[in-house]
Amino acid sequence: MKKVLLSIFVLFILFSCNKTTIKKIEIDFITLSVLNSKNENHPLNLFLDIKSKRILIYNNKIHFLELPPQPNGSTSNSVRIEQKIDNEIIELSSQEIDNIKNILSEFTEDDFESKKQTSYDGLALKLNFTYNDNSFKTIELINNSTKRQTEFFKVLFQVLYDKSSQQAILNEYYNKEYLWKL
């Protein structure tokens, strides 16, 4: 009788374990804002959607037209902001997404911590990671990053340099050598 009860208990445990699946938590998308002292009025904003394999480069700055002169003829209050970065969607290959996912899968807790180093001139990045369970993590990096973070930026920006129609602007404001110094 003892063996029969033990056997039934073991079978119960086995069958109940097979029905329980644990949903793997993965990154759905990443937003990234890049600001350096060279482009302080023109931040680069990226939205990387891992599921749809796309990067959206977007400009969220409100652009004002030049204001007309004041009645006294003065133009001192006129404002003009030129758009530097246009909105653009870049399609990614499965291999590019896999490279990004592989790097992100190697991130440790240290890689998800903000790193800030004071400087008069430099680079600031803000990353928001949103997961398929609706949780998110935010990282702010100022003139500092971990090895894995730098590797992620290199892969991401190489895709931008290779596929964007705005290569001249990217090279002017976000050149590789500058980003790789993080």
The highest-confidence range among 40-44, 115-119, 123-127, 145-149, by mean pLDDT, is 145-149
Identify the residue with better confidence: 66 or 150.
150
Tokens 């909105």 identify what position? 87
- pLDDT tens digits, one per residue of 6-45: 566 555 565 555 444 455 778 899 998 887 766 566 678 8
pLDDT value at residue 9: 59
Instruction: Please enumerate in sequence order all residues whose Cβ is within 8 A of that of 142, keeping only pairs 6 or more positions apart, or say none.
Output: 115, 116, 117, 118, 119, 122, 123, 124, 125
Average pLDDT rounded to a whole number, residues 96-109: 92
The highest-confidence range among 21-25, 33-37, 60-64, 79-83, by mean pLDDT, is 33-37
Quickly state the pLDDT bin for 74 (edges 50, 70, 90). Answer: low
Residue 107 corresponds to which amino acid? F
Q: How many CA atoms lie within 13 A of 139 on its CB side?
A: 23
Average pLDDT rounded to a whole number, residues 82-94: 83
What is the dihedral angle through the alpha carbons of 119, 123, 126, 129, rounded to the nearest 10 degrees?
-120
Identify the residue with better confidence: 169 or 80.
169
Percent of the chain topping pLDDT 90: 26
